[in-house]
A and B are shown apart, each in its own frame.
Chain A
Amino acid sequence: DSGVTQTPKHLITATGQRVTLRCSPRSGDLSVYWYQQSLDQGLQFLIQYYNGEERAKGNILERFSAQQFPDLHSELNLSSLELGDSALYFCASSASLAGIGNEQFFGPGTRLTVL
């Protein structure tokens, strides 16, 4: 158990809908990362937050957005869902931004199925 929690575990929804995925980082970790994993693309970085502020964006669609709240939990919002958005969504957290000890620890993921 990495200490990172994600809810829900599974989500089944229809095209055009909007969903929210939630992540609680390990106790004390300030940085949260979101990744998408699909069979064809592998694990792809979406977005990073550090202590409430967005720090980096990767291959995140405009239909997707995220935020990190004062209690450091994060939410990833996916809207106007398409069939191709079906994937595993992982949250990871790390203690800080710098240093060799900045390992990222992953949560169990949310499996999103868009029908």
Chain B
Amino acid sequence: QKEVEQDPGPLSVPEGAIVSLNCTYSNSAFQYFMWYRQYSRKGPELLMYTYSSGNKEDGRFTAQVDKSSKYISLFIRDSQPSDSATYLCAMRDSGGSNYKLTFGKGTLLTVNP
């Protein structure tokens, strides 16, 4: 079983739709959870950064973490064509000897005008 599982999609939605992206994980030591957006042939761009369980909202984006279920989500409201990209979840533990990120494989999202 991979440490982080993410449905690769592709996911295609009409403009204005609410998008839900999800990841599950198996490592209970993960404490920090991130969502990155990656446009084609570009580097990942940090969208949301959360610690432990709970919700975090930033504009049209909401990140949710449910540590009891080992499940994280990213919601995009009023989706726009410019949101079309690959969305990667990433997570890491509290530190110790290294601070590497473990990534999901990414979900390809297309928002159609």
CB pair B103 A42 closer than 8 Å: yes
| Chain B interface extent, by class | 20 to 34
CB pair A100 B51 closer than 8 Å: yes
CB pair A105 B98 closer than 8 Å: no
Interface residues of B (CB under 8 A from A): 32, 34, 36, 41-46, 49, 51, 88, 90, 95, 97-106
Q: List 28 A-B contacts (CB under 8 A).
A: A33-B99, A33-B100, A42-B105, A42-B106, A43-B90, A43-B101, A44-B103, A45-B100, A45-B101, A45-B102, A48-B98, A48-B99, A56-B98, A56-B99, A56-B100, A58-B100, A94-B99, A97-B99, A98-B95, A100-B49, A103-B34, A103-B46, A104-B46, A105-B46, A106-B36, A106-B45, A108-B43, A111-B41
Interface residues of A (CB under 8 A from B): 2, 4, 31, 33, 35, 42-45, 48, 55-56, 58, 90, 92, 94, 97-98, 100, 102-109, 111
